[in-house]
Amino acid sequence: MKITVDEDKCCGAGQCVLLAPEVFDQRDDDGIVVLLDAAPAAGHHAAVRESAAVCPAAAIVLSEDA
Amino acid sequence: MTQVGSVLVVGASAAGLATAEALRRKGYQGALTVIGGEFHPPYDRPPLSKQVLAGEWVPERAQLRTADQLAALDAEIVLQDPARSLDTAARTVRTASGRAVRADAVVIATGLRSRAFPGQQSLEGVHTLRSLDDALALRSALQSADRTVVIGDGVLGAEIAATARGMGVDVTLVGMLTAPMVGLLGSRMAARLAQLHTDRGVHMEFGVAVEFLQEERGRVTAVGLADGRVLPARTVVVAIGSVPATDWLTDSGLTVADGVVCDAFCQAADGVYAVGDVARWHHRGLGKFVRWENRTNANEQAAAVAANILGENRPYTPVPYMWTDQFDAKIQAHGLLGEDADVQVVEGSEEDGRFVALYRRDGHMTGVLGWNMPKQARLHRAAVVDHYTAQAALHA
Alpha-carbon distance A16 to A27, whole Å? 13
Residue B64 has pLDDT above 70, yes or no: yes
Q: What is the pLDDT of residues B149-208, one digit of tens each?
A: 999 999 999 999 999 999 999 999 999 999 999 999 999 999 999 999 999 999 999 999
Q: What is the pLDDT of residues B14-61, one digit of tens each?
A: 999 999 999 999 999 999 999 999 999 999 999 999 999 999 999 999
DSSP state of B36: -
CB B264 within 8 A of CB B258: no
Q: What is the pLDDT of residues A8-66, one digit of tens each?
A: 999 999 999 999 999 999 999 999 999 999 999 999 999 999 999 999 999 999 998 75
Q: What is the pLDDT of residue B2?
A: 61
Nearest-by-CA chain B residue for A45: B25
pLDDT band with cut points at 50, 70 and 90 for residue B231: very high
Domains and CATH numbers, chain A: 2-63 (3.30.70.20)
B373 touches chain A (CB under 8 A): yes
Residue B247 has pLDDT above 70, yes or no: yes
pLDDT band with cut points at 50, 70 and 90 for residue B9: very high
For B262-282, what is the mean pLDDT?
A: 98
Q: Look at residues B355, B347, B365, B351 and name the one whose alpha carbon lies nearest to residue B331.
A: B355
Q: What is the pLDDT of residue B218?
A: 95
For B232-249, what is the mean pLDDT?
A: 97
Q: Do B323 and A55 touch (CB under 8 A)?
A: no
B contacts of A36 (beta carbons < 8 Å): none
* More confident position, B146 or A31: A31
Q: What is the pLDDT of residues B370-382, one digit of tens each?
A: 999 999 999 999 9
Q: For all residues of chain B together, what is the average pLDDT?
A: 96
Q: Look at residues B288, B286, B43, B257 and name the one whose alpha carbon lies nearest to residue B274.
A: B257
A11 touches chain B (CB under 8 A): yes
Residues B288, B283, B280, B330, CA torsion sign = positive
A contacts of B326 (beta carbons < 8 Å): none
A46 to chain B, minimum CA–CA distance in Å?
A: 9
Q: What is the pLDDT of residue B394?
A: 66
A46 touches chain B (CB under 8 A): no
For B283-309, what is the mean pLDDT?
A: 97
Beta strands A24-26; A33-35: pairing state: antiparallel
* More confident position, B390 or B242: B242
Q: What is the pLDDT of residue B396?
A: 54
pLDDT band with cut points at 50, 70 and 90 for residue B340: confident
DSSP state of B309: H
B contacts of A28 (beta carbons < 8 Å): 375-376
Q: What is the pLDDT of residues B303-328, one digit of tens each?
A: 999 999 999 999 999 999 999 999 99
CB B78 within 8 A of CB B98: no
Domains and CATH numbers, chain B: 6-113+243-309 (3.50.50.60), 116-240 (3.50.50.60), 328-395 (3.30.390.30)
For B120-144, what is the mean pLDDT?
A: 95
The residues near A13 (Cβ < 8 Å, ≥ 6 apart) are A55, A56, A57, B296, B321, B323, B332, B374, B378
Q: What is the pLDDT of residue B395?
A: 60
Report yes or no for ipTM above 0.90: yes
